Amino acid sequence: MRNHSLLLWVLLVVDGVFGAAKVKSVLVMVSDSLTLNTNDTETQGADELEWRIQGDKTFIAQIDKEHTTISVPGNEEAPFRGRLKLDEKTGSLTITNIKSTDSRVYELKIKSRADIIYNTFSVTVHEKVKSISVMEGDSVTLHTGVTEIQRNDRIKWMFGDKDTPVADFNGPVDGRNIHLNSQTGDLTITNIQTHQSGVYKVELSTSIMNLHRELHIAVDKVESISLMEGYSVTLHTDVEVQRNDQIQWKFGDQGISIANLNGPVDANWRNIHLNRQTGNLTIRNIRSDQSGVYKVEVNTSIVSLHREFSVVVVPGLSLAAVAGIVVAVVLPMAAAAVAGVVYHRHKISKLESRRDANAGEGTGSDVLLKDKPENNSSS
pLDDT of residue 130: 67
**Superfamily of domain 19-126, CATH level 4:** Immunoglobulins (2.60.40.10)
CB-CB contact of 147 with 80 (8 Å) = no
Minimum mean pLDDT among 141-150, 287-296, 367-376: which range? 367-376
Question: Average pLDDT of the chain?
Answer: 80
For residue 234, name the pLDDT band (cuts at 50, 70, 90): very high
Instruction: Using alpha carbons only, give the angle 201, 206, 209 rounded to the nearest 5 degrees.
Output: 80
Lowest mean pLDDT among 11-20, 99-108, 110-119, 312-321: 11-20
How far apart, in whole angstroms, are the C-alpha atoms of residue 115 and residue 326? 93
Q: 188-192, 203-207, 344-348: which has the minimum mean pLDDT?
A: 344-348
Q: Was domain 132-220 assigned CATH 3.40.50.1970?
A: no
pLDDT number for residue 301: 83
By DSSP bridging, strand 23-29 and strand 116-126 are parallel
- Structure letter (DSSP) for residue 100: G
Residue-level pLDDT at 43:
86
Q: Is 60 exceeded by the pLDDT of residue 82?
A: yes
For residues 210 and 204, give the distance between their C-alpha atoms in angstroms, rounded to a whole number.
Answer: 6
Per the CB < 8 A criterion, the answer to whether 208 and 37 are in contact is: yes
Least confident among 70-79, 88-97, 130-139, 226-235: 130-139
Averaged over 75-84, what is the pLDDT?
Answer: 95
Question: What confidence tens digit (pLDDT) does each residue in 163-172 have?
Answer: 999 998 876 6
Average pLDDT over residues 25-42: 91
Cα 130 to Cα 164, 201, 217, 302, 347: the distances in Å are 21, 13, 9, 11, 79
Task: Quote the pLDDT of residue 66.
Answer: 85
**pLDDT score of 340 more than 60:** no
Mean pLDDT of 44-55: 92
- Is residue 153 scored above 80 in pLDDT? yes
The Cα 175–Cα 160 span in angstroms is 14
Taking the C-alpha atoms of residue 226 and residue 279, their distance in angstroms, rounded to an integer, is: 21
* Dihedral sign (CA 108, 110, 111, 116): negative
pLDDT over 60 (residue 108): yes
Residue 338: the pLDDT is 44
Per-residue confidence (pLDDT) for residue 378, from 0 to 100: 40
DSSP code for 254: T
Q: What is the pLDDT of residue 372?
A: 38
Among residues of the chain, what percentage have pLDDT more than 70? 76
3-state secondary structure of 334: helix
pLDDT score at 169? 80
pLDDT at 19 over 50: no
Q: Which CATH code is given to the segment(s) 225-314? A: 2.60.40.10
At position 233, the amino acid (one-letter code) is V
Closest CA to 260 of 252, 271, 244, 249: 249
Closest by alpha carbon to 307, among 187, 244, 198, 223?
Answer: 223
Comparing 59-63, 127-131, 336-340, 366-370, the range with the smallest average pLDDT is: 366-370
- Range of lowest pLDDT (64-78, 211-225, 248-262, 344-358): 344-358
Secondary element (H or E) of residue 319: helix 319-361
* CATH 2.60.40.10 location in the chain: 19-126, 132-220, 225-314
Return the percentage of the chain with pLDDT > 90, whole number. Answer: 54
Q: What is the DSSP letter of 265?
A: P
pLDDT value, residue 21: 61
Kindly tell me if the per-residue pLDDT of 150 is higher than 60.
Answer: yes
DSSP letter (8 states) at residue 267:
T
